Amino acid sequence: MRPVGRVLVICTGNVCRSPYLERRLRQLLAGQDVHVESAGTRALVGADIEPGSVAALEAVGSDTAGFASRQLTPSLLAAADIVVTATQKHRADAVALHPRALRKTFTLGELADLVRDADLAGAAAGPEVAAAEHDTPWAAIVAEVARGRRGLHPARTAAESDIPDPYGRGSAAYDLMSTEIEAQLPVVVAALTPPGH
């Protein structure tokens, strides 16, 4: 069974958007060999998930226990096979912190666009992947395929790509956040699931 690998999710405070996405990816990729974690570019280090995100996660049956916000570091970026950010600014911040992460860092919306109609199974069977170790994490293959397709799709504007920050706002802001994430999740989860699983 090919491992999915390490997925890193980034937002600002690591208390609203990235914890929501982290816990939903863990839930939807359960049973896979995957490690999903999150961090913030300006993390509220040690903080719990914000109550609005907890409510949104509980509404879809996700586990919210045992979370503590943490600061994004170059070593977290280096260890990840794919990096998913809430906004284009988070993507730029991640790449500034660890320039080699450019190849594997995408906003959630950008990643969904790039993998939506990609032949991932074909890419995995291709000579460059077949020549690599079979245990190359699937997330690394997905990142490489997505990176190679960047010129094929018009890039989303920040307004279209960015997941709005609900921090300090009311329940409607958290509803909007979760709705926008959930709209992209099925495509991304399908792409991150290795063929034959």
Q: What is the pLDDT, as a whole number, of residue 131?
A: 42
- Residue from 33, 188, 194, 192 nearest 124 by CA: 194
What is the pTM (predicted TM-score) of this model?
0.94
Q: What is the DSSP letter of 136?
A: S
Q: What is the pLDDT of residues 31-61, one digit of tens each?
A: 999 999 999 999 999 999 999 999 999 999 9
Query: Domain containing 124 — which CATH number?
Result: 3.40.50.2300
- Angle of the 171-192 helix axis to the 138-148 helix axis, nearest 10: 100
Residue 85, domain member (yes or no):
yes
Residue 197, domain member (yes or no):
no
Residues 114, 159: Cα–Cα separation, whole Å: 18
- Residue from 185, 161, 32, 2 nearest 86 by CA: 161
Residue-wise burial string across 168-197, b where 16 or more C-beta atoms lie within 10 A, e elsewhere: eeeeebbeebbebbeebbebbeebbbbeee
15 close to 45: Cβ distance less than 8 angstroms: no
Q: What is the pLDDT, as a whole number, of residue 157?
A: 79
Residue 39: left if φ>0, alpha if ψ -120 to 50, beta else—which one?
Answer: beta
Residue 18, domain member (yes or no):
yes
For the chain, the domain total comes to 1
- The residue assigned the tokens 């939807």 is 28
Residue 61, domain member (yes or no):
yes
- Region 82-88 average pLDDT: 97
> Helix, strand, coil proportions of the chain in percent (round to 5)?
50, 10, 40
Q: What is the pLDDT, as a whole number, of residue 22?
A: 98
Q: What is the pLDDT of residues 134-178, one digit of tens each?
A: 678 999 999 999 999 988 877 777 778 899 999 999 999 999 999
Name the residue range of residue 177's domain: 5-192
**CA diameter of the chain:** 51
Residue 62, domain member (yes or no):
yes
